[in-house]
Amino acid sequence: MHREYHSWYSPALDRQMELLQFGHGGSPILVFPTSMGRFFDYENRNMIGIVGDRYESGELQAFCVDSVDSESWYNKAVSPRARVDRHMQYEQYLLQEALPFIRERNPSPRVTVTGCSFGGYHAANFTLRHPHLVDGLVSFGGAFDIHQFVDGYYDQDCYFHCPPDFLPRIDDDNLLNEFRRMRIVLAAGESDICLVENQRLSDILQRKNIPHNLDIWSGAGHDWPWWEQMAVKFFGK
């Protein structure tokens, strides 16, 4: 399988950022790591290898980015406002650096976005804020609400980075139609600690007449072995 490691100094984040690319062509996938995770976790947890034939055949191409969660939402050493600011800088890294990098290597105008657990938050938040850049959202055990990370603080920027808050108030038909044309998967185990969040987001999508697949797995929890099997179902042949 084609594999490339890349690293560069990010102007948006004022630090070095790393990513891994898998596959030589096909549908591009932007992969977010789990809470405070790293760009190599997806590979190390066999999420690439389990559907490796699709990367080898040129059907899929994954770009696994790093996170700055420990500097943003999870950083209790700074104020909630500073946590939000750091997350917004991360979004600029994605828009101004990571996506142009992907486009240099793949001609597709849109990407599929995926992530497990808090990576599901990043995937959903990015998708719902920038639907013109995305053709699919696939979340495994996603957590979507950022209230728990801001210690009671809340402002406009928090609001616009919390999908369960801002999505219900979107009424623009053009924007809603952007959501309706894409593939949206919310997969979670029946004993997943994030199951309620997935059901809540699904309810919002349903009220907005946005087609999606809420896929609840019997006997499954919130862990990599389940997410690995979900990858087979939603990214395999």
Could you report the per-residue pLDDT of 28-61, keeping only the tens digit for each? 999 999 999 999 999 999 999 999 999 999 999 9
pLDDT of residue 187: 98
Section 106-113 average pLDDT: 96
pLDDT of residue 112: 98
- C-alpha atoms less than 13 angstroms from C-alpha of 158 in its C-beta half-sphere: 17
Listed by start position, the domains of the chain span: 3-232
Residue 126 in this model has a pLDDT that exceeds 90: yes
Residue 168 in this model has a pLDDT that exceeds 90: yes
At 2, list the tokens. 């084609």
State pLDDT tens for residues 176-192. Answer: 999 999 999 999 999 99
Residue 237 in this model has a pLDDT that exceeds 90: no
Spatial neighbors of 196 by CB under 8 A, at least 6 apart, are none
Bridging pattern class, strands 183-189 and 213-217:
parallel
Percent of the chain beyond pLDDT 90? Answer: 100
Residue 156 in this model has a pLDDT that exceeds 90: yes
State pLDDT tens for residues 70-80. Answer: 999 999 999 99
pLDDT band at 116 (very low <50, low <70, confident <90, very high): very high
pLDDT of residue 115: 98
Residue 22 in this model has a pLDDT that exceeds 90: yes
> CB of 112 within 8 A of CB of 28?
yes
Per-position b or e across 149-184, b if 16+ CB within 10 A of its CB? bbeeeeeeebeebbbbbbbeeeeeeeeeebbbebeb
pLDDT of residue 166: 98
Section 207-226 average pLDDT: 97
Question: In this structure, which topology does domain 3-232 adopt according to CATH?
Answer: Rossmann fold (3.40.50)
Cα 231 to Cα 141: distance, rounded to the nearest angstrom: 12
Mean pLDDT of the chain: 97
Section 9-13 average pLDDT: 98
Spatial neighbors of 173 by CB under 8 A, at least 6 apart, are none
> CB of 48 within 8 A of CB of 20?
no
Section 137-141 average pLDDT: 98
